[in-house]
Structure 1
């Protein structure tokens, strides 16, 4: 069974800059820069027939418009028990429309709705047994952050192996966005 999700690729020049934020945080499992992406919709483990239906249905979204992403801050998920460090993207209307359109298409296929609110970000590290103070100090030590902008001209259907996250990810299909 493939494990699928849709996302946006992070260009190499931006990934290289984000990778400079790696290190100095005990308990962080840093994600390799070639696996940086912005998840639009986690689909999960599906059978091969469903995977083919997903790939076909996403073709109907190619009329979505191209846009620009702006990464403008570092943040964490998990509150008092941080579990991830990320580079946050500034939401914009085109990004929100693309994500919402994917959600609608995938629900029409019978997939369960995404339970979490969409928060566009690039995961940089998975955290385990890291105190919030250590994370805050690491973010402060990282210094000035961006902003880093890049154009988005397509979205991607990714597959991943069953793991705790962080890759490796494989591009299964690409879907161009209208200029």
Structure 2
């Protein structure tokens, strides 16, 4: 059973800029730069028939390319931090693309996504990182000054069953046009 998700790739130059935030945080397991992405829809472990149906439906997406802006570094988990992220500014185009993926995956027979869409790039998974250490890290490191790029395609990725962070395999790519 493949474990699948859809995402927007992060260009090399943006990934390199985000990689400068690697290090200096105890308990962080840093994501490899080549695995940076903005998840649109997690499909999970699906059978081959569902994977084929999802891929087919995604091929019918007709959306124009759009700009994506990264606006800062943050953390998920509050007092129990679990991930260091780069916040992606929500935009109408991004939100509508994600909503279309949600509708299509439900049509393919998947359960609705339970979590609200919060666009981000995961930089590190945090294990045993204290909220104080994370606050100090964020205070010292700050965040990027508005990194932007043009999203011209999205990808259907597969991953192995692991604790996250890749490696990811491109199963299909879909051009925004």
Q: TM-score, normalised by structure 2?
A: 0.98
Tell me the equivalent position of 2:124.
125
2: CA distance, partners of 1:78 / 1:57? 33
Map of 1:98-177 to 2, 5 A cutoff? 98-177=97-176
Counterparts of 1:1-179 in structure 2, within 5 Å, are 1-61=1-61, 63-178=62-177
Aligned residues: 177
Structure 1 length normalisation: TM-score? 0.97
Uncovered stretches (5+) of structure 2, i.e. residues with no partner: none
- Cα distance in 2 between the residues matched to 1:136 and 1:22: 15
Q: Structure 1: 5+ residue runs without aligned partners?
A: none
Within 1, Cα distance between the matches of 2:69 and 2:15? 13
Contact in 1 for aligned 2:18/2:144 (Cα 8 Å)? no
Q: Secondary structure at the match of 2:75?
A: strand
**Aligned mates of 1:12, 1:102 — CA distance in 2:** 25
Say what the alpha-carbon RMSD is for the aligned residues. Answer: 0.7
Consecutive aligned runs of 4 or more in structure 1 exceeding 4 Å deviation: none
